[in-house]
Structure 1
Amino acid sequence: MRVARLRKILDNIDAGKPINLNFFLQSINSLNLRDRIHSDDIRSSKVKGDKYRVEYIKPSLMASLRNYVGNGQESRITAASQNQSHSQKVIGSYLNIVLSAHENDKAYPVFVSFDIEGRVSYPPNTSITRTGSCDLLIIENVQLFLFWQRTVSFLRARCGFNSTSFDIALGRGNEISNTYHKQFLSKYQTIYLCLDIDLGGLMIAKNLISLVPDTPYQFLMPDNIDNYLSKVVEQIDLKTLNDIRAIGLQYSGLFIAARTISKHIKTIEQESFLHD
């Protein structure tokens, strides 16, 4: 179970509030604690329905539970002491960036890191200290990022990408919308999105729009997308289709992509563009 949820239950017990006792017991059993839980380790009184007010928990059991959930102020490192690092956000982030990608012969990918305040650090011992590009092109797929010159050529020829001053970032799925990147992303005039034409791609776009709502964006899609989708054999399920339609109705800049997917009831990965 999620650490935060178990911590909330313990907080309610401390405050004398009723809890779902059966759920609490099931959660404890799922932890595989060293000591077996006995019937008299937890005493409670029924309040209503499945709600019980816990009046006593064996001290050694409570100590184990408190050690497991912590106090909510842990870092990822301290949470790892109870094998719960996944419950905490990574302390910082990174992006792979092609700085000044419009200068094709001079541009190259670099690794940039971000601290918890969103401050960016560029590679040491280089002349690069900051980016001066106006726009940002986000490429979701690693293959397209590695062949970024070829990808940019395709985007210019087929997707209406016409920026003359831009950096390129590897999106790495939803990692690009990490809140640590907000300050960095906000400085660009326009963000161009080269993502999969599917629910995942639209979700990434949606999250980015929410992260930097004041930054104009363009969802890039080939002008011959109908040809791509007509060759896809498998159709998407109704739930996925409805989720895609909902996003299209919510965001005008994603409407055409959602409508195109809805028309064919099919999606396609951006990696297929390399074969054009």
Structure 2
Amino acid sequence: MTDLLIFGRTGQVALEVARLAPAARFLGRDEADLTDPAGCAARILAARPAAVINAAAYTAVDRAESDAATARLVNAEAPGAMARACAELGIPFVHVSTDYVFDGSGEAPRAEDDPTGPLGVYGQTKLDGERAIAAASGQWAVMRTSWVFSAHGANFVKTMRRLGAERDRLTVVADQIGGPTPAADIAAALLVMARAMIADPAKGGIYHFAGAPDTSWAGFAREIFARSGLSPQVEDIPTSAYPTPARRPLNSRLDCTAISRDFGIARPDWREGLGRVIQELSA
């Protein structure tokens, strides 16, 4: 798809989109600074693409607590400006959001229309971004996802492989439950959504997309070690034993029925994706 404009170039998802759609145009920070929402909108209006995917975000969850102004610009105001520019052109806008828009209570998977309740600045700015996109009144889709990992950038898989090689014993949080999601599968899903929305102007809305089966961070760590040939002892600990500046949701389970129904996109098995990522990291 040569007429696709992607915000983001070096992030986990953007790098995977580039593998699948190398002909798309990618805008990194040097060309599109998300702290300049008007500039981002101007890029869209000048390019006049067939669709826009925003794969860029302020994802430093803990730093956002002390840098709320920047997080708000990047996660809320810039996506809103992008969505308004897309609405002006009459083209689809696809955006990546997060499970952090929920409060993490209970144990049931969250559906798209369940009540939100962010626990921190990051989640609140992402939720505000969703609302700004919807208010633009164009054709839009928001994909909420969770626990993203790949062979690129900083993520849990790379951290665990490093620590697992250095230590005989690790403590890992076991009471946060969610679906690890390979960035490659997110990228593929975003492209399917964008193409379907170009073909059908009625398609869009909020969707959940996460890997299966749901697990804990400790369970995720054990699988990483097993597939990496590492054998540190993993001790399960509660979130309360690992305090961070930003609170994390305990329940990050996402009901992914709608994206399957509307776009034919199934939940990926994160264990298969993990195998591919470890193979790439080991190469």
Above 0.5 in TM-score? Answer: no
Which is higher, the Rg of structure 1 or of structure 2?
Answer: 1
What range is the shorter-chain TM-score in? under 0.3
TM-score by length of 2: 0.26
Higher relative contact order (CA 8 A, sep 6+): 2
